[in-house]
Amino acid sequence: MIRFEGVTRRYGPTTALANVDLALADHELVVLLGPSGSGKSTLLRLVNRLLDPTEGRVFVEGRDVRSYRPEALRRTIGYVIQNVGLFPHWRVADNVATVPRLLGWDKQRIARRVGEVLDLVGLHASTYARRFPHELSGGEAQRVGVARALASDPPILLMDEAFSAVDPVGRQRIQAEFLEIQRRLKKTVVFVTHDVDEAIRMGDRIAVLRAGRLVQFDTTETLLERPADAFVEDFLGRDRTLKRLSRVPASALARTVPQPDTCDVLPETTDLRLVLSHFLKEGTDVVALRNGSDKITGWLHRRDLEAWARSEAPP
Amino acid sequence: MTAGWNRAALAGFGGALVLLTAFPGLWPWPLYPRASPGYLLMEHLSLVGLSSAVALVAGLGVGIAVTRPAGRAFLPLARTLASVGQTFPPAAVLILAVPVLGFGVGPAWVALSLYGVLPIFGNTVEALLAVPPSTKEAAKGLGFRPGQVLWRVELPLARPLILAGVRTSTVVNVGTAAIGAAIGAGGLGAPILSGLVTQNNGFLAEGAILAGLLALTLDAVFGLIGAGRT
Protein backbone atom coordinates (compact mmCIF):
# COMPACT_ATOMS: atom_id res chain seq x y z
CA MET A 1 0.00 0.00 0.00
CA ILE A 2 2.78 2.44 0.97
CA ARG A 3 6.40 1.79 0.03
CA PHE A 4 9.54 3.85 0.43
CA GLU A 5 12.44 2.91 -1.84
CA GLY A 6 15.90 4.23 -1.04
CA VAL A 7 14.47 7.51 0.13
CA THR A 8 16.86 10.34 0.98
CA ARG A 9 15.82 13.85 1.87
CA ARG A 10 18.25 16.70 2.35
CA TYR A 11 17.66 20.25 3.53
CA GLY A 12 20.66 22.18 2.28
CA PRO A 13 23.65 20.56 3.94
CA THR A 14 21.68 18.53 6.51
CA THR A 15 20.35 15.09 5.74
CA ALA A 16 16.93 14.50 7.29
CA LEU A 17 16.51 11.00 5.83
CA ALA A 18 19.22 8.71 4.55
CA ASN A 19 18.39 5.86 2.20
CA VAL A 20 15.27 4.58 3.93
CA ASP A 21 13.49 1.46 2.66
CA LEU A 22 10.16 0.69 4.25
CA ALA A 23 7.01 -1.08 3.11
CA LEU A 24 3.66 -1.01 4.86
CA ALA A 25 1.06 -3.73 4.39
CA ASP A 26 -2.61 -2.89 3.85
CA HIS A 27 -4.71 -2.27 6.94
CA GLU A 28 -1.82 -2.13 9.41
CA LEU A 29 -0.95 0.63 11.83
CA VAL A 30 2.74 1.40 11.58
CA VAL A 31 4.31 3.73 14.11
CA LEU A 32 7.29 5.85 13.11
CA LEU A 33 9.13 6.24 16.40
CA GLY A 34 12.18 8.30 17.19
CA PRO A 35 13.50 11.34 19.03
CA SER A 36 12.98 14.79 17.53
CA GLY A 37 15.14 15.31 14.47
CA SER A 38 15.12 11.61 13.63
CA GLY A 39 13.28 12.25 10.36
CA LYS A 40 9.98 10.57 11.23
CA SER A 41 7.78 13.53 10.30
CA THR A 42 9.78 14.07 7.11
CA LEU A 43 9.15 10.45 6.16
CA LEU A 44 5.42 10.84 6.80
CA ARG A 45 5.19 14.01 4.72
CA LEU A 46 6.69 12.26 1.73
CA VAL A 47 3.56 10.12 1.48
CA ASN A 48 1.14 12.96 0.64
CA ARG A 49 3.79 15.01 -1.13
CA LEU A 50 3.96 17.81 1.39
CA LEU A 51 7.62 17.04 0.72
CA ASP A 52 9.33 15.28 -2.14
CA PRO A 53 12.38 13.08 -1.62
CA THR A 54 15.77 14.29 -2.81
CA GLU A 55 16.53 10.75 -3.94
CA GLY A 56 14.51 7.57 -4.05
CA ARG A 57 10.84 6.95 -4.65
CA VAL A 58 7.61 6.67 -2.71
CA PHE A 59 4.76 4.45 -3.86
CA VAL A 60 1.11 4.61 -2.83
CA GLU A 61 -1.07 1.74 -4.07
CA GLY A 62 1.76 0.70 -6.35
CA ARG A 63 2.02 4.09 -8.09
CA ASP A 64 4.87 6.53 -7.74
CA VAL A 65 3.40 9.48 -5.81
CA ARG A 66 5.01 11.84 -8.27
CA SER A 67 2.59 10.60 -10.93
CA TYR A 68 -0.33 12.08 -8.93
CA ARG A 69 -1.30 15.73 -8.80
CA PRO A 70 -0.40 16.69 -5.21
CA GLU A 71 -3.87 18.00 -4.35
CA ALA A 72 -5.61 14.98 -5.84
CA LEU A 73 -3.31 12.65 -3.91
CA ARG A 74 -3.87 14.50 -0.63
CA ARG A 75 -7.64 14.31 -0.97
CA THR A 76 -7.41 10.51 -0.94
CA ILE A 77 -5.25 10.42 2.19
CA GLY A 78 -6.51 11.36 5.67
CA TYR A 79 -4.22 13.71 7.55
CA VAL A 80 -4.19 14.55 11.26
CA ILE A 81 -1.60 16.89 12.78
CA GLN A 82 -0.49 17.73 16.27
CA ASN A 83 -2.08 21.13 16.67
CA VAL A 84 -5.18 19.82 14.92
CA GLY A 85 -5.27 22.78 12.54
CA LEU A 86 -9.05 23.09 12.58
CA PHE A 87 -10.21 26.10 10.55
CA PRO A 88 -11.15 28.59 13.28
CA HIS A 89 -13.69 30.44 11.12
CA TRP A 90 -15.66 27.30 10.27
CA ARG A 91 -18.04 25.36 12.45
CA VAL A 92 -17.27 21.73 13.34
CA ALA A 93 -19.59 20.45 10.60
CA ASP A 94 -17.86 22.59 7.95
CA ASN A 95 -14.43 21.51 9.16
CA VAL A 96 -15.41 17.86 8.91
CA ALA A 97 -16.97 18.44 5.48
CA THR A 98 -13.73 19.91 4.08
CA VAL A 99 -12.54 17.02 1.93
CA PRO A 100 -15.99 15.81 0.78
CA ARG A 101 -16.61 19.36 -0.46
CA LEU A 102 -13.27 19.44 -2.25
CA LEU A 103 -14.28 16.16 -3.87
CA GLY A 104 -17.56 17.70 -4.97
CA TRP A 105 -19.97 15.46 -3.09
CA ASP A 106 -23.61 16.57 -3.07
CA LYS A 107 -24.99 18.35 -0.02
CA GLN A 108 -27.15 15.52 1.31
CA ARG A 109 -24.36 13.00 1.11
CA ILE A 110 -22.01 15.40 2.92
CA ALA A 111 -24.54 16.12 5.67
CA ARG A 112 -25.13 12.40 6.20
CA ARG A 113 -21.43 11.63 6.26
CA VAL A 114 -20.62 14.44 8.72
CA GLY A 115 -23.16 12.97 11.15
CA GLU A 116 -21.77 9.48 10.71
CA VAL A 117 -18.17 10.38 11.18
CA LEU A 118 -18.80 12.63 14.21
CA ASP A 119 -20.69 9.72 15.72
CA LEU A 120 -17.73 7.49 14.98
CA VAL A 121 -15.37 9.63 17.05
CA GLY A 122 -17.90 9.84 19.87
CA LEU A 123 -19.20 13.37 19.37
CA HIS A 124 -22.95 13.86 18.98
CA ALA A 125 -23.64 15.89 15.88
CA SER A 126 -26.61 17.58 17.56
CA THR A 127 -24.31 18.94 20.27
CA TYR A 128 -21.15 19.63 18.31
CA ALA A 129 -21.89 20.23 14.62
CA ARG A 130 -22.73 23.94 15.06
CA ARG A 131 -19.85 24.75 17.41
CA PHE A 132 -16.77 26.72 16.49
CA PRO A 133 -13.33 25.24 17.22
CA HIS A 134 -12.69 27.70 20.06
CA GLU A 135 -15.71 26.24 21.84
CA LEU A 136 -14.11 22.78 22.04
CA SER A 137 -11.79 21.22 24.62
CA GLY A 138 -8.39 19.95 23.45
CA GLY A 139 -9.63 16.37 23.34
CA GLU A 140 -12.80 17.30 21.47
CA ALA A 141 -10.83 19.33 18.94
CA GLN A 142 -8.53 16.35 18.36
CA ARG A 143 -11.55 14.09 17.82
CA VAL A 144 -12.90 16.56 15.26
CA GLY A 145 -9.45 16.45 13.62
CA VAL A 146 -9.73 12.67 13.32
CA ALA A 147 -13.30 12.95 12.05
CA ARG A 148 -12.19 15.43 9.39
CA ALA A 149 -9.45 13.06 8.26
CA LEU A 150 -11.90 10.16 8.03
CA ALA A 151 -14.70 12.11 6.35
CA SER A 152 -14.13 10.92 2.79
CA ASP A 153 -13.33 7.39 4.03
CA PRO A 154 -9.75 7.40 2.67
CA PRO A 155 -7.89 4.07 2.72
CA ILE A 156 -4.78 5.72 4.18
CA LEU A 157 -4.44 7.84 7.29
CA LEU A 158 -1.37 9.90 8.19
CA MET A 159 -1.15 10.97 11.83
CA ASP A 160 1.68 13.31 12.82
CA GLU A 161 2.01 13.49 16.63
CA ALA A 162 -1.77 13.46 16.43
CA PHE A 163 -2.48 13.11 20.15
CA SER A 164 0.59 14.84 21.60
CA ALA A 165 -1.21 18.06 22.44
CA VAL A 166 -3.87 16.29 24.53
CA ASP A 167 -3.31 15.95 28.30
CA PRO A 168 -2.10 12.48 29.48
CA VAL A 169 -5.47 11.24 30.74
CA GLY A 170 -7.32 12.43 27.66
CA ARG A 171 -4.57 11.00 25.48
CA GLN A 172 -5.01 7.46 26.80
CA ARG A 173 -8.74 7.69 26.19
CA ILE A 174 -8.40 9.01 22.67
CA GLN A 175 -5.75 6.37 21.89
CA ALA A 176 -8.09 3.61 23.06
CA GLU A 177 -10.97 5.11 21.08
CA PHE A 178 -8.86 5.40 17.99
CA LEU A 179 -7.73 1.76 18.27
CA GLU A 180 -11.38 0.78 18.48
CA ILE A 181 -12.15 2.81 15.33
CA GLN A 182 -9.13 1.28 13.60
CA ARG A 183 -10.26 -2.24 14.57
CA ARG A 184 -13.50 -1.55 12.69
CA LEU A 185 -12.28 0.51 9.74
CA LYS A 186 -8.94 -1.23 9.06
CA LYS A 187 -7.19 1.75 7.51
CA THR A 188 -3.54 1.74 6.58
CA VAL A 189 -2.17 4.12 9.19
CA VAL A 190 1.20 5.84 9.46
CA PHE A 191 1.47 7.17 12.99
CA VAL A 192 4.36 9.43 13.97
CA THR A 193 5.22 9.78 17.65
CA HIS A 194 8.18 10.29 19.98
CA ASP A 195 6.24 8.72 22.86
CA VAL A 196 7.36 5.11 23.40
CA ASP A 197 4.30 4.17 25.44
CA GLU A 198 2.02 5.52 22.74
CA ALA A 199 3.97 3.61 20.09
CA ILE A 200 3.67 0.36 22.02
CA ARG A 201 -0.02 0.87 22.71
CA MET A 202 -0.90 1.73 19.11
CA GLY A 203 1.52 0.02 16.76
CA ASP A 204 1.05 -3.24 14.88
CA ARG A 205 4.58 -2.64 13.75
CA ILE A 206 7.08 0.00 14.80
CA ALA A 207 9.79 1.60 12.70
CA VAL A 208 12.49 3.16 14.88
CA LEU A 209 14.37 6.06 13.30
CA ARG A 210 17.54 7.70 14.44
CA ALA A 211 19.24 10.66 12.74
CA GLY A 212 17.47 9.95 9.45
CA ARG A 213 18.20 6.24 9.37
CA LEU A 214 15.81 3.36 9.87
CA VAL A 215 17.29 1.40 12.79
CA GLN A 216 14.70 -1.32 13.23
CA PHE A 217 11.33 -2.25 11.75
CA ASP A 218 9.52 -5.06 13.51
CA THR A 219 6.28 -6.04 15.13
CA THR A 220 5.84 -4.37 18.46
CA GLU A 221 6.34 -7.67 20.29
CA THR A 222 9.57 -8.50 18.46
CA LEU A 223 10.88 -4.99 19.00
CA LEU A 224 10.35 -5.34 22.75
CA GLU A 225 11.82 -8.84 22.84
CA ARG A 226 14.84 -8.21 20.65
CA PRO A 227 15.88 -4.60 20.22
CA ALA A 228 18.34 -4.37 17.31
CA ASP A 229 20.94 -2.32 19.11
CA ALA A 230 21.77 -0.36 22.24
CA PHE A 231 20.03 2.77 20.91
CA VAL A 232 16.70 1.02 20.44
CA GLU A 233 17.06 -0.76 23.78
CA ASP A 234 17.79 2.53 25.48
CA PHE A 235 14.97 4.34 23.71
CA LEU A 236 12.42 1.67 24.65
CA GLY A 237 13.40 2.10 28.31
CA ARG A 238 14.69 -0.21 31.01
CA ASP A 239 11.19 -1.32 31.92
CA ARG A 240 10.93 -3.00 28.53
CA THR A 241 9.79 -6.27 30.14
CA LEU A 242 6.84 -4.53 31.80
CA LYS A 243 5.98 -2.91 28.47
CA ARG A 244 5.96 -6.35 26.86
CA LEU A 245 3.61 -7.57 29.57
CA SER A 246 1.27 -4.65 28.84
CA ARG A 247 0.71 -5.91 25.28
CA VAL A 248 -0.56 -9.40 26.32
CA PRO A 249 -4.00 -10.22 27.76
CA ALA A 250 -4.18 -12.49 30.81
CA SER A 251 -6.20 -15.04 28.83
CA ALA A 252 -3.08 -15.85 26.76
CA LEU A 253 -1.42 -17.62 29.72
CA ALA A 254 -4.55 -19.00 31.39
CA ARG A 255 -4.74 -22.61 32.63
CA THR A 256 -8.07 -24.36 32.64
CA VAL A 257 -7.35 -26.69 35.58
CA PRO A 258 -9.70 -25.48 38.31
CA GLN A 259 -8.04 -24.13 41.43
CA PRO A 260 -9.44 -25.21 44.78
CA ASP A 261 -8.53 -22.01 46.61
CA THR A 262 -10.78 -19.00 46.58
CA CYS A 263 -8.91 -16.31 44.70
CA ASP A 264 -9.48 -12.88 43.24
CA VAL A 265 -11.26 -12.62 39.90
CA LEU A 266 -10.10 -10.30 37.07
CA PRO A 267 -11.48 -9.80 33.54
CA GLU A 268 -9.63 -12.07 31.10
CA THR A 269 -8.77 -9.07 28.94
CA THR A 270 -6.66 -7.54 31.76
CA ASP A 271 -3.10 -7.15 30.52
CA LEU A 272 -0.28 -9.08 32.17
CA ARG A 273 1.27 -5.93 33.56
CA LEU A 274 -1.84 -5.17 35.59
CA VAL A 275 -2.04 -8.82 36.70
CA LEU A 276 1.55 -8.63 37.94
CA SER A 277 0.71 -5.42 39.75
CA HIS A 278 -2.20 -7.24 41.37
CA PHE A 279 0.07 -10.13 42.48
CA LEU A 280 2.58 -7.72 44.00
CA LYS A 281 -0.04 -5.70 45.81
CA GLU A 282 -2.11 -8.60 47.16
CA GLY A 283 0.79 -10.97 47.79
CA THR A 284 -1.09 -13.75 45.96
CA ASP A 285 0.11 -16.21 43.28
CA VAL A 286 -3.03 -16.93 41.28
CA VAL A 287 -6.06 -15.10 39.94
CA ALA A 288 -9.21 -16.38 38.31
CA LEU A 289 -10.26 -14.88 34.96
CA ARG A 290 -13.77 -14.11 33.88
CA ASN A 291 -15.17 -13.34 30.46
CA GLY A 292 -17.61 -10.64 29.46
CA SER A 293 -20.59 -12.55 30.81
CA ASP A 294 -18.95 -13.11 34.21
CA LYS A 295 -18.16 -16.81 33.61
CA ILE A 296 -14.83 -18.06 34.99
CA THR A 297 -12.76 -19.10 31.97
CA GLY A 298 -9.42 -19.99 33.56
CA TRP A 299 -6.74 -19.29 36.10
CA LEU A 300 -3.45 -17.43 35.77
CA HIS A 301 -0.48 -18.41 37.92
CA ARG A 302 2.26 -16.04 38.90
CA ARG A 303 4.96 -18.59 37.98
CA ASP A 304 3.57 -18.83 34.43
CA LEU A 305 3.68 -15.07 34.08
CA GLU A 306 7.27 -14.89 35.35
CA ALA A 307 8.34 -17.76 33.12
CA TRP A 308 6.83 -15.99 30.10
CA ALA A 309 8.57 -12.74 30.97
CA ARG A 310 11.90 -14.57 31.20
CA SER A 311 11.47 -17.02 28.35
CA GLU A 312 11.36 -14.58 25.49
CA ALA A 313 13.56 -11.97 27.09
CA PRO A 314 16.75 -11.22 25.18
CA PRO A 315 19.86 -13.22 26.12
CA MET B 1 -22.38 47.83 21.80
CA THR B 2 -19.90 48.91 19.13
CA ALA B 3 -22.38 47.97 16.42
CA GLY B 4 -24.95 50.10 18.21
CA TRP B 5 -22.50 53.00 18.40
CA ASN B 6 -21.61 52.65 14.73
CA ARG B 7 -25.25 52.59 13.73
CA ALA B 8 -25.97 55.71 15.78
CA ALA B 9 -22.86 57.42 14.38
CA LEU B 10 -23.85 56.58 10.83
CA ALA B 11 -27.37 57.95 11.36
CA GLY B 12 -26.16 61.08 13.16
CA PHE B 13 -23.10 62.07 11.14
CA GLY B 14 -24.39 60.74 7.82
CA GLY B 15 -27.74 62.45 8.39
CA ALA B 16 -26.07 65.76 9.19
CA LEU B 17 -23.86 65.42 6.11
CA VAL B 18 -26.83 64.83 3.83
CA LEU B 19 -28.89 67.66 5.34
CA LEU B 20 -26.08 70.21 5.17
CA THR B 21 -25.32 69.45 1.54
CA ALA B 22 -28.89 68.99 0.30
CA PHE B 23 -30.18 72.14 2.00
CA PRO B 24 -27.45 74.84 1.81
CA GLY B 25 -29.99 77.24 3.32
CA LEU B 26 -29.45 75.54 6.68
CA TRP B 27 -26.05 77.17 7.06
CA PRO B 28 -26.33 80.36 9.14
CA TRP B 29 -23.49 82.11 7.30
CA PRO B 30 -22.64 82.83 3.63
CA LEU B 31 -21.09 79.83 1.89
CA TYR B 32 -18.22 79.41 -0.55
CA PRO B 33 -19.71 80.84 -3.73
CA ARG B 34 -17.89 78.97 -6.49
CA ALA B 35 -19.48 75.54 -5.91
CA SER B 36 -22.37 74.16 -3.88
CA PRO B 37 -21.60 72.03 -0.80
CA GLY B 38 -23.11 69.05 -2.63
CA TYR B 39 -20.81 69.48 -5.59
CA LEU B 40 -17.76 69.88 -3.33
CA LEU B 41 -18.72 66.75 -1.40
CA MET B 42 -19.12 64.70 -4.60
CA GLU B 43 -15.79 65.95 -5.88
CA HIS B 44 -14.18 65.04 -2.58
CA LEU B 45 -15.85 61.62 -2.51
CA SER B 46 -14.70 60.80 -6.02
CA LEU B 47 -11.15 61.76 -5.06
CA VAL B 48 -11.27 59.57 -1.94
CA GLY B 49 -13.26 56.76 -3.53
CA LEU B 50 -11.06 56.25 -6.54
CA SER B 51 -7.77 56.58 -4.68
CA SER B 52 -8.94 54.28 -1.87
CA ALA B 53 -10.09 51.70 -4.39
CA VAL B 54 -6.71 51.77 -6.10
CA ALA B 55 -5.01 51.62 -2.69
CA LEU B 56 -7.12 48.61 -1.72
CA VAL B 57 -6.32 46.65 -4.86
CA ALA B 58 -2.62 47.54 -4.74
CA GLY B 59 -2.18 47.07 -0.98
CA LEU B 60 -4.03 43.77 -0.95
CA GLY B 61 -2.31 42.57 -4.09
CA VAL B 62 1.22 43.38 -2.99
CA GLY B 63 0.49 42.14 0.54
CA ILE B 64 -0.66 38.79 -0.86
CA ALA B 65 2.22 38.59 -3.33
CA VAL B 66 4.99 39.06 -0.78
CA THR B 67 3.51 36.45 1.56
CA ARG B 68 3.43 33.73 -1.16
CA PRO B 69 6.47 31.43 -1.43
CA ALA B 70 7.46 33.01 -4.75
CA GLY B 71 7.35 36.58 -3.46
CA ARG B 72 8.70 35.92 0.01
CA ALA B 73 12.11 37.32 -0.88
CA PHE B 74 10.59 40.78 -1.31
CA LEU B 75 8.81 40.78 2.05
CA PRO B 76 11.53 42.58 4.08
CA LEU B 77 12.04 45.18 1.35
CA ALA B 78 8.32 45.86 0.97
CA ARG B 79 7.87 46.17 4.73
CA THR B 80 10.76 48.63 5.00
CA LEU B 81 9.44 50.76 2.14
CA ALA B 82 5.99 50.77 3.74
CA SER B 83 7.23 51.91 7.14
CA VAL B 84 9.49 54.55 5.61
CA GLY B 85 6.59 55.73 3.44
CA GLN B 86 4.34 56.09 6.45
CA THR B 87 6.74 58.56 8.08
CA PHE B 88 6.04 61.11 5.28
CA PRO B 89 3.39 63.62 6.32
CA PRO B 90 0.42 63.51 3.91
CA ALA B 91 0.98 67.15 2.93
CA ALA B 92 4.53 66.32 1.90
CA VAL B 93 3.31 63.45 -0.26
CA LEU B 94 0.98 65.79 -2.14
CA ILE B 95 3.50 68.58 -2.51
CA LEU B 96 6.20 66.14 -3.65
CA ALA B 97 3.83 64.88 -6.34
CA VAL B 98 3.69 68.31 -8.00
CA PRO B 99 7.20 68.49 -9.50
CA VAL B 100 6.79 64.98 -10.86
CA LEU B 101 3.17 64.98 -11.96
CA GLY B 102 2.13 68.62 -12.11
CA PHE B 103 -1.06 70.23 -10.79
CA GLY B 104 -4.65 69.02 -10.90
CA VAL B 105 -6.86 66.10 -10.01
CA GLY B 106 -4.64 63.42 -11.59
CA PRO B 107 -1.59 64.01 -9.41
CA ALA B 108 -3.84 64.18 -6.33
CA TRP B 109 -5.30 60.80 -7.20
CA VAL B 110 -1.87 59.29 -7.62
CA ALA B 111 -0.53 60.77 -4.39
CA LEU B 112 -3.60 59.77 -2.38
CA SER B 113 -3.50 56.25 -3.79
CA LEU B 114 0.17 55.85 -2.93
CA TYR B 115 -0.34 57.17 0.57
CA GLY B 116 -3.47 55.08 1.11
CA VAL B 117 -1.71 51.87 0.12
CA LEU B 118 0.50 51.85 3.19
CA PRO B 119 -1.93 50.96 6.01
CA ILE B 120 -3.73 48.45 3.80
CA PHE B 121 -0.50 46.79 2.73
CA GLY B 122 0.86 46.75 6.29
CA ASN B 123 -2.26 45.22 7.78
CA THR B 124 -2.64 42.69 4.96
CA VAL B 125 0.90 41.43 5.51
CA GLU B 126 0.59 41.25 9.29
CA ALA B 127 -2.81 39.56 9.06
CA LEU B 128 -1.64 36.94 6.56
CA LEU B 129 1.51 36.22 8.56
CA ALA B 130 -0.62 35.80 11.70
CA VAL B 131 -2.62 32.88 10.27
CA PRO B 132 -1.43 29.88 12.34
CA PRO B 133 1.01 27.69 10.39
CA SER B 134 -0.84 24.56 11.57
CA THR B 135 -4.02 25.86 9.95
CA LYS B 136 -2.28 26.44 6.61
CA GLU B 137 -0.48 23.11 6.91
CA ALA B 138 -3.79 21.33 7.55
CA ALA B 139 -5.40 23.07 4.58
CA LYS B 140 -2.57 22.05 2.30
CA GLY B 141 -2.47 18.50 3.66
CA LEU B 142 -6.21 18.04 3.15
CA GLY B 143 -5.84 18.89 -0.53
CA PHE B 144 -6.58 22.60 -0.95
CA ARG B 145 -4.83 24.14 -3.96
CA PRO B 146 -2.68 27.18 -3.09
CA GLY B 147 -5.41 29.55 -4.32
CA GLN B 148 -8.00 27.75 -2.22
CA VAL B 149 -5.81 28.05 0.87
CA LEU B 150 -5.67 31.79 0.23
CA TRP B 151 -9.35 32.41 -0.55
CA ARG B 152 -10.99 29.96 1.82
CA VAL B 153 -8.64 30.04 4.79
CA GLU B 154 -6.10 32.85 4.84
CA LEU B 155 -8.18 35.82 3.62
CA PRO B 156 -11.26 35.03 5.74
CA LEU B 157 -9.02 34.79 8.82
CA ALA B 158 -7.14 37.95 7.87
CA ARG B 159 -10.32 39.86 7.04
CA PRO B 160 -10.86 41.83 10.28
CA LEU B 161 -7.31 43.21 10.31
CA ILE B 162 -7.37 44.01 6.58
CA LEU B 163 -10.68 45.84 7.02
CA ALA B 164 -9.16 47.83 9.87
CA GLY B 165 -6.40 48.87 7.48
CA VAL B 166 -8.91 49.90 4.81
CA ARG B 167 -10.82 51.89 7.42
CA THR B 168 -7.72 53.76 8.57
CA SER B 169 -6.59 54.35 5.01
CA THR B 170 -9.93 55.71 3.84
CA VAL B 171 -10.52 57.95 6.82
CA VAL B 172 -7.01 59.37 6.63
CA ASN B 173 -7.56 59.87 2.91
CA VAL B 174 -10.57 62.08 3.57
CA GLY B 175 -8.30 64.46 5.46
CA THR B 176 -5.41 64.21 3.04
CA ALA B 177 -7.70 64.83 0.08
CA ALA B 178 -8.65 68.18 1.63
CA ILE B 179 -5.03 69.22 1.24
CA GLY B 180 -5.38 68.21 -2.40
CA ALA B 181 -7.03 71.56 -3.07
CA ALA B 182 -3.59 73.08 -2.65
CA ILE B 183 -2.52 71.38 -5.86
CA GLY B 184 -5.74 72.15 -7.66
CA ALA B 185 -7.71 68.96 -7.03
CA GLY B 186 -10.86 70.72 -5.78
CA GLY B 187 -13.13 69.03 -3.27
CA LEU B 188 -13.84 70.15 0.28
CA GLY B 189 -10.31 71.52 0.53
CA ALA B 190 -11.27 74.32 -1.89
CA PRO B 191 -13.42 76.35 0.58
CA ILE B 192 -10.87 75.67 3.32
CA LEU B 193 -8.03 77.00 1.20
CA SER B 194 -10.10 79.95 0.03
CA GLY B 195 -11.10 80.67 3.63
CA LEU B 196 -7.48 80.64 4.71
CA VAL B 197 -6.38 82.94 1.91
CA THR B 198 -9.23 85.44 2.24
CA GLN B 199 -9.48 85.10 6.03
CA ASN B 200 -13.09 83.99 5.69
CA ASN B 201 -13.84 81.71 8.63
CA GLY B 202 -17.24 80.81 7.18
CA PHE B 203 -15.67 79.15 4.10
CA LEU B 204 -13.10 77.48 6.29
CA ALA B 205 -15.75 76.08 8.65
CA GLU B 206 -17.89 74.89 5.73
CA GLY B 207 -15.10 72.74 4.32
CA ALA B 208 -13.83 71.54 7.69
CA ILE B 209 -17.25 70.56 9.03
CA LEU B 210 -18.23 68.65 5.90
CA ALA B 211 -14.86 66.87 5.70
CA GLY B 212 -15.10 65.97 9.39
CA LEU B 213 -18.64 64.61 8.98
CA LEU B 214 -17.57 62.64 5.92
CA ALA B 215 -14.65 61.05 7.82
CA LEU B 216 -16.89 60.12 10.76
CA THR B 217 -19.57 58.72 8.44
CA LEU B 218 -17.11 56.54 6.52
CA ASP B 219 -15.56 55.39 9.79
CA ALA B 220 -18.99 54.27 10.99
CA VAL B 221 -19.68 52.52 7.66
CA PHE B 222 -16.47 50.50 7.93
CA GLY B 223 -17.20 49.80 11.57
CA LEU B 224 -20.51 48.26 10.53
CA ILE B 225 -18.93 46.23 7.70
CA GLY B 226 -16.30 44.92 10.11
CA ALA B 227 -18.86 43.92 12.72
CA GLY B 228 -21.32 42.57 10.17
CA ARG B 229 -19.90 39.11 9.69
CA THR B 230 -17.61 36.92 11.74
Q: With an 8 Å Cβ cutoff, is A65 touching chain B?
A: no
* Burial (Cβ within 10 Å: 0-12, 13-18, ≥19) of residue A11: exposed
Whole domain around residue B58: which residue ranges?
2-228
The answer to whether residues B48 and B90 touch, using CB atoms and an 8 Å cutoff, is: no
A85 at interface of B, judged by CB pairs closer than 8 A = yes
Inform me whether the C-beta atom of residue B130 falls under 8 Å from chain A C-beta atoms.
no
Number of domains making up chain B = 1
pTM to 2 decimal places: 0.82
Digits of tens for pLDDT over chain A (315 positions)? 899 999 999 998 899 999 999 999 999 999 999 998 899 999 999 999 999 999 999 999 999 999 999 999 999 999 998 878 899 999 999 999 999 999 999 999 999 999 999 999 999 999 999 999 999 998 899 999 999 999 999 999 999 998 988 888 888 889 989 999 999 999 999 999 999 999 999 999 999 999 999 999 999 989 998 899 999 998 988 888 888 888 888 888 888 887 766 788 888 888 898 899 999 998 888 898 988 888 888 899 998 888 888 876 544
Q: Residue A11 and residue A16: Cα distance in Å, rounded?
A: 7
CA distances from A135 to A127, A128, A141, B23 (A): 11, 9, 9, 52
Closest chain A CA to residue B156: A89
Q: What's the fold here for domain A248-311?
A: CBS-domain (3.10.580)
Point out the residue among B134, B143, B230 whose CB comes nearest to the CB of A81. B134
B199 shares contact with chain A (CB less than 8 Å): no
Task: Report residue B203 CA to chain centroid gap.
Answer: 25
Size of interface A-B (CB pairs under 8 A): 54
| Domain boundaries A2-243, CATH class | alpha beta
Distance CA B187, CA B43 (A): 5
Interchain pair A74, B143: CB under 8 A: yes
CATH at residue B91: 1.10.3720.10
B134 with A83: Cβ contact below 8 A = yes
Please judge whether B139 and A87 are an interchain contact, meaning their C-beta atoms are less than 8 angstroms apart: yes
**Domains of chain A by residue range:** 2-243, 248-311
CA distance A174 to A169: 9
Complex ipTM, two decimals? Answer: 0.80
